[in-house]
């Protein structure tokens, strides 16, 4: 009697497991598509700015610029089914791992239902490097000068205006022929004070 009761319980459990198996994937497959707006592929747009850098040899400065392009982002509409019935999966996992199969199948249903529709492209505020560094030729610059303090004597700061040559060169010996102090220099474009590069002038070099 007990043996038959145990067999009946096992049979009922198997029937219950098989009846539950696949519920989540079936519910997901029968559900509606849900649409969202997402970012799709990215590409590079036109040059919108330059990144400036510099180096110095002796008292000769070199100013360079690297082109920056706008990052173009494609806006897409993505429609796909929402996964459903995960409460059934938890129950299925009790019975011989049926739930793992249903979970895998549910995820596959979601991916198979996915529809992507491109809408438009727009330039973001983010920029990316889109070319090689080249000399910043014939740029009008402003040089903010901070002379070094010597013997407690603190000279006043001052500015000079200059231009780079066709090779992006700034000859500080020519700009400061009579200076005998070390000069800490901040150089920026006359058209944009935010693009500042630091140099140091050392007399006698």
User: 172 or 23: whose pLDDT is higher?
Assistant: 172
Q: Which residues pair with 143 in a beta bridge?
A: 160, 187
Check residue 78 and give its pLDDT. Answer: 83
With contact defined as beta carbons under 8 Å apart, do 143 and 186 qualify? yes
For range 177-192, the mean pLDDT: 92
| Least confident interval from 13-22, 143-152, 174-183 | 13-22
Check residue 101 and give its pLDDT. Answer: 62
Check residue 51 and give its pLDDT. Answer: 94
Comparing C-alpha atoms, which of 13, 186, 21 is closest to residue 100? 21
Specify the DSSP element, H or E, that contains 33.
Answer: strand 33-57
Q: Which residues pair with 37 in a beta bridge?
A: 77
Q: What is the pLDDT of residues 101-147, one digit of tens each?
A: 666 777 777 777 788 888 888 888 889 999 999 999 999 999 999 99
Give the integer Cα–Cα distance in Å for 199 and 59. 9
Question: Rounded mean pLDDT of the chain?
Answer: 81
Q: What is the pLDDT of residues 34-57, one digit of tens each?
A: 878 888 888 898 999 999 999 999
Q: What is the pLDDT of residues 81-100, one digit of tens each?
A: 776 655 555 555 555 455 56
Check residue 166 and give its pLDDT. Answer: 96
Please give the model's pTM, rounded to 2 decimal places. Answer: 0.63
């Amino acid at each position: 009697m007990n043996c038959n009761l145990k067999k009946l319980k096992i049979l009922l459990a198997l029937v219950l497991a098989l009846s539950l198996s696949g519920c989540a994937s079936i519910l997901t497959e029968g559900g509606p598509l849900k649409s969202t707006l997402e970012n799709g592929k990215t590409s590079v747009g036109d040059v919108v700015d330059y990144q400036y850098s510099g180096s110095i040899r002796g008292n000769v400065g070199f100013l360079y610029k690297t082109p920056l392009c706008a990052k173009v982002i494609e806006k897409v509409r993505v429609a796909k089914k929402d996964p459903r019935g995960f409460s059934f999966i938890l129950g299925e996992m009790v019975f011989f791992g049926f739930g793992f199969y249903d979970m895998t199948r549910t995820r596959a249903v979601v991916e198979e239902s996915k529809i992507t529709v491109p809408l438009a492209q727009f330039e973001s505020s983010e920029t990316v490097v889109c070319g090689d560094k080249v000399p910043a030729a014939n740029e009008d610059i402003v040089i903010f000068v901070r002379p070094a303090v010597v013997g407690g004597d603190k000279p006043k700061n001052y500015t000079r205006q200059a231009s780079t040559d066709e090779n992006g060169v700034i000859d500080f010996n020519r700009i400061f022929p009579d200076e005998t102090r070390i000069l800490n220099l901040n150089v920026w474009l006359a058209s944009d004070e935010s693009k500042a590069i630091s140099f140091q002038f050392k007399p006698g070099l």
